[in-house]
Structure 1
């Protein structure tokens, strides 16, 4: 953590992925600012049906197929892994040689959010 990080976070000492996803493209698309980025990915790609205030994102229509279930489960797992293994640890380091690959991971997540259909 850098000096001043706690002040910018309102005095909280949690990692960035644990903080509310206030203005992320995902939060804006689903209209939620009540959860961390990782928790929001888990929620919007949940197997549960949408509920009031908890919309879902779908990369393909839910046709009940194994493919639909695999894609939904894979996106949620990919996002959790990206935040846990890349974003959280690397938010505290500088000059990482694998940064281009890490940007590719988050670019993939951003594309999925951008192209996913909103299920209300």
Structure 2
């Protein structure tokens, strides 16, 4: 896709892949994208059907809360501001290479967090 100039499509494919990897990691198929990341990075304790992803151990600190609130907000931003327009808006001009690289970098960071996170279950 990239070499043929379909950069917007490449970014959308990356967004889909991050979503799929997060779903696979927690074993859920009933939610995706924004709702998925709101639930997995939630500060609430896990429930039987709602595992959590933890980027660090819950030591009760403001840092723990900030990291997970930030990851949740970052993921929401990635899907709302990048993936949704790329997927749902017809007639958008193709992304310039530097813009597409920046968008891919955002999803790359989210993918790294998902990969590094520990799954917390009941």
- After TM superposition, the score normalised by the length of structure 2 is 0.77
Deviating runs (4+, > 4 A) in structure 1?
none
TM-fit CA distance, 1:31:
0.2
Q: Counterparts of 1:41 and 1:94 in 2: how far apart (Å)?
A: 29
Q: 1:38 aligns with which of 24, 29, 34?
A: 34
Partner of 1:84: 80
Deviations 1:39-93 (A, max 9, x none): 1000000011000010000000000001000000000000001111111001244
Does the residue aligned with 2:53 lie in a helix, a strand or coil?
Answer: strand
- Structure 1 vs Structure 2 CA RMSD: 1.7
Partner of 1:118: 119
Q: Which runs of 5+ in 2 are unaligned?
A: 1-11
Q: Higher mean Cα deviation, 27-36 or 91-100?
A: 91-100
Does the residue aligned with 1:24 lie in a helix, a strand or coil?
Answer: helix
Q: Which runs of 5+ in 1 are unaligned?
A: 1-15
TM-fit CA distance, 1:37:
1.4
TM-fit CA distance, 1:94:
5.6
Question: How many residues end up aligned between the 2 structures?
Answer: 100
Partner of 2:95: 96
Partner of 1:6: none
Query: Higher helix share goes to which structure?
Result: 2
Q: Is 1:48 paired with 2:40?
A: no
> In the superposition, relative to structure 1, how do residues 34 and 94 fare at CA in structure 2: closer, same or farther (>3 Å)?
farther
Q: Counterparts of 1:37 and 1:48 in 2: how far apart (Å)?
A: 19
TM-fit CA distance, 1:36:
2.2
